[in-house]
Chain A
Amino acid sequence: MWTDLEEKLVEWESRFLKVNSYEDFDLDKEYLLREIESVKEEKKLMEYRLRKLDEIIAKTKVLIDDLSEDLCNKLSKGRSIATVAEAVKREFGNDFEADLNEGRKEIVKFLEKHYSIDKKSARQIFDLLEEAGVVYYELSVPAKGKHEKIDFVPLEADFDFAEPVYAFPGHWVINA
């Protein structure tokens, strides 16, 4: 479908370019006016298609949310994503000062204990919370950080220094 659309557009672009280079303008004015009308018609059709595409996108999002709620319900023994998020917020607050991996581990551990579920289910619930945007790790990139290269040290599996160095500080946000 996109190949057809692309071909149509390229054809218009090259036809218009040809007409624009003609000296005898009067001869081509009517033709150009007709062509502009056809492009406008095509644009209207594309706008209609885009609007319809937005409908199918919105519907898909609702269906995903629906399945996410079902999954959360199943994993947490009957709780909704909002309920679980509230419990996480009560425990850790809005801003949870913790490293990316440690923070995740702590929240998963909390979910495991709080709902008496296995670790795998707790991890899946955590992923659902992240996908829903209620729990996320936020990095602060300072203004000068935009123009500096980020250093990456290729660590080996048995690296022996205590703390790897990260360019930007971060924290967990719980937005229930």
Chain B
Amino acid sequence: MSLVTKFADWFHKKDDRIMELHINKEREALKDEYNSLMKERKKMRDFINRLDALIDIEEKFLLNKEKGE
């Protein structure tokens, strides 16, 4: 399964889960889901930061090579 499909699948399951918890009035479990989503968010932000760093380093590398450094 591709990453795109995996994420979409994960996302839909999470959305269904939080709505189900709300309908069943499971406040504590909903709070746990919220905390776990915040952790996912942090991971995602870290991942974006690493991608950014990779782009910055390689663009700088290209620029320096073109300048002949």
Contact = CB atoms under 8 A, between A and B. Distances in A.
Tell me what chain B mostly uses at the interface: helix, strand, loop, or mixed: helix
> 3 tightest CB-CB pairs across the interface, nearest first?
A67-B27, A63-B22, A43-B51
Q: How many of chain B's residues touch chain A, expressed as a range?
A: 35 or more
B58 A32 contact: yes
Interface string B27-62: 100110110011011011101101110110111011
Contacts of B51: 9, 39, 42-43, 46
B18 A56 contact: yes
A120 to B, nearest CB: 16
A100 interface: no
B62 A45 contact: no
B7 A49 contact: yes
A119 interface: no
A50 B4 CA distance: 13
Interface of A: 1-2, 4-5, 8-9, 12-13, 16, 20, 25, 29, 32-33, 35-36, 39-40, 42-43, 45-47, 49-50, 52-54, 56-57, 59-61, 63-64, 66-68, 70-71
Contact of B48 (A50, A57, A61): A50
A167 to B, nearest CB: 28
Contact of B34 (A32, A40, A57): A57
A54 B58 CA distance: 30
A42 B57 CA distance: 16
Interface string B1-36: 001101100110011001101100101001101100
A61 B41 CA distance: 14
A4 B3 contact: yes
A59 B19 CA distance: 9
A40 B53 CA distance: 11
B22 A67 contact: yes
B5 to A, nearest CB: 10
A64 B30 contact: yes
A92 B7 CA distance: 49
B18 A2 contact: no
Contact of B27 (A43, A53, A64): A64
Given A16-B54, A32-B58, A42-B51, A67 B25 contact: yes
A39 B27 CA distance: 40
Given A16-B57, A16-B58, A50-B48, A67 B30 contact: yes
